[in-house]
Each structure stands twice: as C-alpha cells, then as structure tokens.
A and B are shown apart, each in its own frame.
Chain A
Amino acid sequence: MELQTLEKARLGGQYRIKRITERRLQELGLCEDAQITVLYECPFGGMRVYRIKSTRIAFRNRQAEKIWVQEVAG
C-alpha cells in the first residue's frame, strides 16, 4: 500500500506510522511502526482525534502533515 500523509487519511481508517518529523508528537508516543486510528474530525475541520495505543489525542492537520502513514488492511 502506498504512503500518504496523515491529514489525508480517511476517518475510521487504521494506519501504521512510517515516518514522523513532528517532535512534540513523537514525545507523546507517536513513533514509527505504531498503529494509529483516525476517530473524529471537528466542525469546520482542521483538527482530528486519533487513537494511538489506548489513548486519544487530537491535533491539527498542520501537524498531521508531518506524519507519513500506510493503511493497515482489515
């Protein structure tokens, strides 16, 4: 499957992180190879809630642009 940046990932989809260049989010546990699920989007867009392991974190698309992911089948 091809690589895409996280802000383009579809709602409800499950992805695997392939590359991440946003330091702040790395500190929060978003590292390469981790699985991430896109959960919700806020009205007017620009920010989404993700699940990583068993926590929910929301961040802006501006930050999601710095994360490359690959969809996990199934």
Chain B
Amino acid sequence: MEQRRIALLGNPNTGKSTVFNRLTGLQQHTGNWSGKTVGQAVGTVLYGDKTAKLYDLPGIYSLFAERAEECCAKQFLCFGKADTVLVVADATNLERNLPLVLQVAALQEHTLLCLNLTDEAEKKGIYVDRKRLEERLGIPVIEAAARAGKGIGKIKESLFEGHTHSRGKTEFSQLWQDCPQTLAYLTEGCEALLGKARTTPFCLTMVLEEDPAFFGGLAQEEGWDTYRLMELSARAEGARKLLEAEGSDLRTFQEKKTIFFLQMAENITRETVQIKQEKEDLTERLDRAVLSKGFGILLMLALLGGIFWLTAVGANYPSALLRVFFDQVGEGLGDVLSVLPPSLYSLCMDGIFLTVSWVVSVMLPPMLIFFPLFTLLEDFGLLPRIAFQADGVFRKAGANGKQALTMCMGFGCNAVGVTACRIIASPTQRLIAMLTNCFVPCNGRFGLLILLCTVFLSNGSSVGAGFCLLALVASAVGMTLAVSFLLHRLLGGQEDSGFILELPPYRRPQIAAVIVRSVLDRTVFVLMRAVAVAVPAGIFIWLMQRVHVQGVSLMQLLVNFLDPLGALMGMSGAILAAFLLGMPANEIVLPILLMYYSQSGVLTETQTTAELANILTLQGWTFSTALCTALFSLNHFPCATTLLTIWKESKSKFFTAVAFCLPTAVGILLCIVIHALFGAG
C-alpha cells in the first residue's frame, strides 16, 4: 500500500512547526516570527503499525498571493501531492486564520483543522465553539495545545482513521453569481481540457487569472506541452473578455474574491467565538515600552549588548576547560601515534590536532552561550520588534529591518548570520545582506579586538577600552549600512519595495527546547563546517613552517612577499600573513602571529595580557599598527566557513568571490588612508 501523504499548512505563528515536531518527533527549528520555514521539511508520522509522510509547507495567509511561498503551497495542493491537508489555526485569532482554512477546504477534498493554542486562548478568555465551527466549515476540527502536547493523539487518530473527511462547505460558487456567462464558458472549456473532476470553482478561478503557479504546475507536474497550455490560456482570455462584457473585470473579480473570504471568516467568527473578558493583555503592555521610540531602543541595545558581553566574558572559562581537556586527549593520542615516523607524527599532532582542537575550544563556548540566548529572544517574540525599530535606519540604506537581525546574528557567527538571511524575502536585499554580513565582527574577532583596545588603543583603563570597543562596533555597523547602500545602488534595487512585519504576541520561551534547538541547528552546524576547514588548514600551516626553499621557510617567504603591502597598510607582512592563514577561523589569527614571532612552529598563546603587550611592542607595534590591525580585522575577507556558507546559500561562485573581495578591498583602502593620516606620528 502506498504511504499516505499529509500536507501541513497554516498562517505564520500558529505553532505549525511545533505541531510538526510533535507529530513526527523530529526537531525542526520553530520560531516566534514569520518566514522561518524555508525549503520543505518532511517527517514521518507513526500510528500503530501505520505510517504517513508529513510535508511542512511554508506559513502563508492566503493561497491567492503570488509570492514564492504561496505558489509553493498552492502547487503542492493542486497537483495531488497530498491526500490530506492538516491546517493549523491560532485559536486566539481565529478570524485571521479562517480565510486560508476556507480556501484550502474549497480546494482540497480531505481537510482537517487543528485549532491550536487553545490554552493561550483560554487564558485570554477566548472560547471557540468547536462543534459549531465544524458545522460551518464542513471539515473536522480538533482542539490542540501543541506546546503542551495536548490534542496531538486526536489529530493522529483523525488523520489515520477519520472517515468523515469531505470537501468543506466553502460556498465558492457565490463568487460567480454576477457573471453566469463567464462561468459557463469557462466551465465548458475546463471540463474539456482539465477533466470534470478538476473543474471546481477554485480551479476555474485559477484558470481565469492564469495563475502562474497553476499553469507552471501543469507544465512541470503533468507534462503539458505549450500547445495545450496555449489552448487553456485562450479560454482564460476569452473568459476575461466575457467578464468585462458582464460589467466586471479581472481586478474587480480578484478584489471580490479576497473580500469574499474575509467576510465569510468574519461571519463564522461571529457565530463561533466568544470573548468572555477583554482585558489589556501582556503583549500590549510590553509593547508600549518595547516599541516606544526612546526607551525601546535603549532596551534593545542593552539586551543585545548584554548578550555580547555575557558571551565574550562567559566564554573564557569553558574555553580554558576545553583546552585542558584537549591537552589530555592530545597526550593520549600522542602515545598512540608515537609509532609513526617523526615528521608524520608532527604533522598529525602539531598540524591537524592542534589546529582542530584550538578552533573547537575557542569557537564552541561562545556559540554555546550566544545562540541559546539569542534564540530565547526569538522565542519570546522580540526579533520582529527589533526589526521594526531598526527599519527606519536600514530603509535609508535600501535594506529593511530584517537585515538588522541577520547582522545581530553575525556578531555571534557570520556563517550563521549568512544562513539567517533566508528570512529576507527580496532576492536583491537578501544578497546584499549576505555580502555585507561579515562587516560586523563575529565572536572570533572580538578576542583580538578587545586585546587591541585594552593594550594599545585606550589609556589602559577598562572604561577606555570599553569605549574603544564600542566605537569599533559602531563603525562596523556604519560600514555595513554604507556598503549596503552602495550595493543597493549598484544592483539597482527598487527605492522602497515595501516591507510588512507581523508582530506576534509575546510567548513564554520554551527554555529546554531552545537549548536543544540552538545547539543542534546552529552550533553543531557551524562547528562541523569549521572542523572541515580546520583539518586542511592545520596541514597547510604546518607545511608553511616546515618546508624550506633555499633555507627560508614558506611562511617567511609569504611574510616577505606581503611586507610591502603590510607596510603601506600600517601593519606588517607577518600580520597580513596571519590574517591569510587564519582563514579557517578568525580565532587563530593571533595564535598564528605569535607562532611566527616566537618561531615556535606551533600555534601559541601567552598567559597574560601584559606578556602579550610586551611581545607585540618588542615586534614594533604602535598605536597606529593596532588601529590598522583592528580595522583590517573588521574589514577583511570572511572566514572559510562563512565563504562556504555564502557559496551554498547564493549558489553563485561570482558572488562568493565578491564576498571575498569586497570587504578586503574596503579594508586595504581604509588601512592605507588611516596609515597615511595617522601613521607618520
């Protein structure tokens, strides 16, 4: 027997992904804001000895819009890919959800409604008459509170054993009342071309509008040739002419259609929903502070600043512990590998193992702190509000507020920031956000920046260093905006393409789930990519030190080669070489530099800041060197992990190359100018 196929559909923020996870047991990332489900998640639902495939479709409000998400969902439903559609609706806001439910019920033969978030609705004093709703819609309705796992069993039961499924009672045909001739003409044509079973009011609408998703689907899924498609197009055109003859036109028809569903939703809501107490809810009260102009901004900056500070400070301890752990592992591994010839042993231990363990121990702890905290904000519902507050500034750069969010994630890790750019709908704006993400320093660069601020750029006081760091971060944000603005002009984006954000109610974050998700989705993902690049990089760095040409090591050759450029930029060949070799992870730039300075041949760290200051001063570092190094750290090629991510996300070698060259060029120019201005002194 063929496996049943179930499609999961619903508005954004209805807990659709939570329902998906509960039904399949698969941990898919859920978020308290729209635009999260990108691509298509598929899971398996088990019920006794039966199984079914569950397809998570993107969160949408209507089947009639023409964005990629809606088209994807519509095609999936139209071309029989699903036996049953499970629509998830938010019980606290039923009216908003009903148009989609009604549309699906009109299109699909087997529809099931999951009325989710009933626990929240109850808290707000909102009661939905399930029985009455079932009658009005003509489809089964199941109450659920997916976060608590309530109702999931019933949904399964209904999915596998329900025999009552039938097409919903959406009286779509009313829409055609004023244009009987058009309807007759279109029906005749569709019955001939599409077959009788397909000729439903919903389908007729799509033909009349020459819906690109529907026509595209006919070609892709059912192999229609151009001739057949043109025949259907001709019918549609004829029908539109008739429509005009009957005193209407396509625009009016579409508007009527939208209003038809909205009105039906309103009527049904009036009959089925009772609001027992209307009190000002928490969301309203919180929003008054969070969305206010002055205090709201301060609050958000303080929150984000607090997270960065906790990450930078808090990561030191687990990092040190990890180093101790890896030292022990290294000793054990060394014993085992001691059977190898000395050079191979050194390659494995000093090259691969040291680099990989270094990257893991400096990268893992900050990510383990940053991402769970950030995900908590996301779960709470704060991210769309941050996007709103930032939109005014980002609009001026041709971007939108969502880029503020991807930028914030870039502070944690640029590779994650680049992946997060998926939330930006416009392809041009998304590309710009990806290309500019590495202009903000990730955790890996903060270590070096803090050091430079403390030792060289401030007068030694921690307050001074703090202000220095703040100035650097502000300049990074400014640079992001400036480059975004220029790219926007260059790529010819529209002036103001419009931007819609839904602000969901605040919800209590699910702390345990947050930790699991952020670790699985973000941390492990980045770490695996980082290790993948650290292995070859470890070998490379090792070879650079050991291979000599005419008595000079490759490393020294590279340093000599880069020296003129380094001098021009107010740094040195050694610093530039460290940045280049630090490609696998920004965290190892400083250790590589120290390795070179001390000629130790392995990645090196020093115990105290004072020692470090001493070494660097001995190597001729001045205020100007530190300033140029800090600026180049902010503005240079992204790390290998980020580049790999940009390549995977943009699927374009060209733009990956741009992502490499653009910040590098900015950094080189900036350093040359700064050095020319301040370097002489």
Contact = CB atoms under 8 A, between A and B. Distances in A.
B498 A63 contact: yes
Main secondary structure of the interface of B (DSSP, over half): helix
B292 A26 contact: no
B395 A40 contact: no
Contacts of A56: 283, 287, 502-503
A27 B61 contact: yes
Given A26-B258, A27-B65, A59 B503 contact: no
B96 A55 contact: yes
Nearest to B294: A43
A62 B395 CA distance: 11
Interface in B238-257: 254-255
Q: For this complex, into which size category does the number of interface residues on chain A fall?
A: 20 to 34
B499 interface: yes
Contacts of B62: 27
Contacts of B500: 24-25, 28, 57-60, 63
Max count, chain A CB within 10 A of own CB: residue among B61, B262, B287, B502: B262
B389 A43 contact: yes
B95 interface: yes
B502 A57 contact: yes
Interface string A3-44: 000000000000000000001111111011000000111111
Contacts of B291: 39-40, 49
Contacts of B391: 42, 46-47, 58, 60
Given A47-B401, A54-B92, A60 B65 contact: no
A45 interface: yes
Contacts of A24: 65, 498, 500
Interface in B57-75: 61-62, 64-65
Contacts of B299: none
**Which 8 pairs across A and B sit closest by C-beta, in order of nearness?**
A44-B392, A56-B503, A27-B62, A40-B291, A58-B501, A42-B392, A47-B391, A62-B496
Given A42-B392, A47-B499, A49-B503, 16 more contacts: A29-B95, A29-B96, A31-B259, A40-B287, A40-B292, A42-B293, A42-B391, A42-B401, A44-B396, A47-B388, A53-B93, A57-B501, A58-B384, A58-B391, A59-B498, A60-B499
Interface of A: 23-29, 31-32, 39-47, 49, 53-60, 62-63
13 contacts: A23-B65, A26-B255, A27-B99, A29-B96, A42-B390, A43-B393, A46-B496, A49-B287, A54-B96, A55-B93, A58-B500, A60-B498, A63-B498
